[in-house]
Homo-oligomer: A and B are copies of this chain.
Amino acid sequence: MELNLKEIRPYKKGAGYSYTLGAFPTMELIKKKKERAAAVVVSSRYEGSADFKELCEKENIRYEVNDKLLNRLSTKENCFVAGIFEKYEEELRADRPHVVLVNVSDMGNLGTIIRTLAGLGIPDLGIIAPCADHFNPKTVRASMGALFSIRIKIYDSFEEYKSKFPDHELFPFMLDGENTLSINEISHGELYTLIFGNEATGLPKEFAGMGRSIFIPQTETVDSLNLPISVGIGTFSFVHSLVGNGEKLS
């Protein structure tokens, strides 16, 4: 891979490369997506427990001690290790359940959701544009590197998504959904799509007519639960009702 490190600049949305800032997401990059890793850059002051040099040699990834470059990449905090990776596209699998986020706008939320989906075992995520950039280093960091463990596909519209997966049963999560979320009473097959709206506005009204709309029971004390919490509760409930108690997720 020919990459001139001198040309590497702070992240921009249109760039072909992005960065993992910090040891944890950089380790995840090497473990899960080494074919996209272009280089690992460490500080001359780095004395971490993870030996990136040895690992990079073993995985045939370019390794460089370069303080100047690290300073360029990490705008805010002290950062002693960074990975540079080539962006990539993936397709969702037609035989697996999905989560779809419609116009998610906050990178921290998106990263937290990615980590949650990886943890709960639903690693196929569709996102309807416009949306937060899933490759932005802030998102990568908020995901704790779980970005590299899940498949993400951006669609221009929900119709585009729907036309590709006609067999998935749709469950839009709405603040006035008809069905209360209940593990015992919402039966569903193995092919389902859980749909969540934007942080501020939720899902547009027309989603209520698609599939079976769902309401997460909540008090009137708060405006709504926040988006990552809703995704966590909704996804856990669906996964849990399928796998049964005590079965190990994979």
Q: Are B221 and A119 in contact (CB under 8 A)?
A: yes
User: Once the chains are docked, how many angstroms separate the CA of A184 from the CA of B237?
Assistant: 12
A34 CB–B CB distance under 8 Å: no
Cβ-closest chain B residue relative to A218:
B119
Main secondary structure of the interface of A (DSSP, over half): loop
Complex: how many Å from CA A216 to CA B248? 11
Q: Which of A108-132 contact B (CB under 8 A)?
A: 112, 115-116, 118-121, 123
With A180-B245, A185-B245 already in contact, the answer to whether A232 and B221 are too (CB < 8 A) is: no
Tell me the nearest residue of chain B to A183, going by C-beta.
B183
Per CB-CB distance, the 4 closest pairs between chain A and chain B, nearest first, are A182-B245, A229-B232, A119-B222, A119-B218
Residues of A within 8 A of B (CB): 112, 115-116, 118-121, 123, 144, 146, 149, 180-185, 216-219, 221-226, 228-229, 232-233, 236-237, 239-240, 243, 245-250
